[in-house]
Amino acid sequence: MKNDADSEIISYIDTFLTVRGLSQNTKKSYKEDLFLLKSFILSLNIDIYRLDKYHAELFIKHLMDEGLSKRSINRVLSSCRGFYKNAYRLKKIPVNPFSGIKNSNENYKLPVFLTKPEVDSFISKNNKSDSFTDIRNLSILTLLYSTGGRREEIQSIDVKDIDFLNSEILVKGKGNKERLLFITQEAETYLKKYINERNKIVVHSEALFINKRGYRLSLSSFNNIFNSFEKVSGIQKHVTPHTIRHSFATQLMDNGMDIRSLQELLGHSSISTTGIYTHLSLQNLKNIYSKSHPHA
């Protein structure tokens, strides 16, 4: 039988919070915050004590979509933590679903990303020659943009991990968890060209991306490659492998991908981490509006 959310929230406020001696205004704020949660769980048709961490993260994402400030979201988080901490103390729940969700950093800056025309320009300007190094570097760039993979994931790929038949690459992400990256036709073309060149040198590693001596390319080499890309491109942004990952995610969000699917593609363990791209997408929309509206 479902617990009545209204009565559970009111009971919490009238008993536990009153015992703590909180003011009427403070208790009113708690009530407003918890009733935001109540409305959300009613939309999911779940019991207030059946909420798990996934639902809690979805709730935070919902608040972000509603346009609440980071300060307001952090206040709601605090109220929810307190409510479920009390429920845990009373043995109504086995675990507090909000305990592992961190506050938003109110001073957090949106990450740098490239627009689609900037990415196209970045690739074309770095398509310099048919040397082994340039072909390899361009393959790295297009693979990062194709997959949204992390630098460490791309660096760790072995040749055997690639499945050209299904356009997939098996990688190990954070926490040593395996996941699949998907390859676009453009990236596959560059990758096959690179592998053909790779096979012409003496190789001492199973690694996909190697240096001229045949050993796996280091993570610092990836950074150096992007430093050289940046000098050639002329784009007035600091571009790193993670910038390409941000660009991949932002453009998928702009093109209508739902946040749950994007979370899977990026390998995020928490959907709240993926939520930053809803803000990037909104910021991009605002920039377009400012440039397009005659009175903006």
Catalytic residues: 150, 174, 242, 245, 268, 277
Q: Which two tokens stand for residue 25?
A: 């205004």
Q: Which two tokens stand for residue 235?
A: 């784009």
CA-to-CA separations, 126 to 61, 130, 142, 234, 264, in angstroms, rounded: 38, 11, 11, 11, 30
Backbone angles phi, psi at 93, to 5 degrees: -140, 150
Q: Which amino acid is at 20?
A: R
Give residue 258's Cα distance to chain centre: 12
On whether the CB atoms of residues 279 and 292 are closer than 8 A, the answer is no
Specify the DSSP class assigned to residue 108.
Answer: P
On whether the CB atoms of residues 189 and 237 are closer than 8 A, the answer is no
109: left (phi over 0), alpha (psi -120 to 50) or beta: beta
Give residue 18's Cα distance to chain centre: 40
Q: Which two tokens stand for residue 246?
A: 């941000």
Q: Nearest CA to 150 among 248, 231, 252, 217?
A: 248
3-state secondary structure of 39: helix
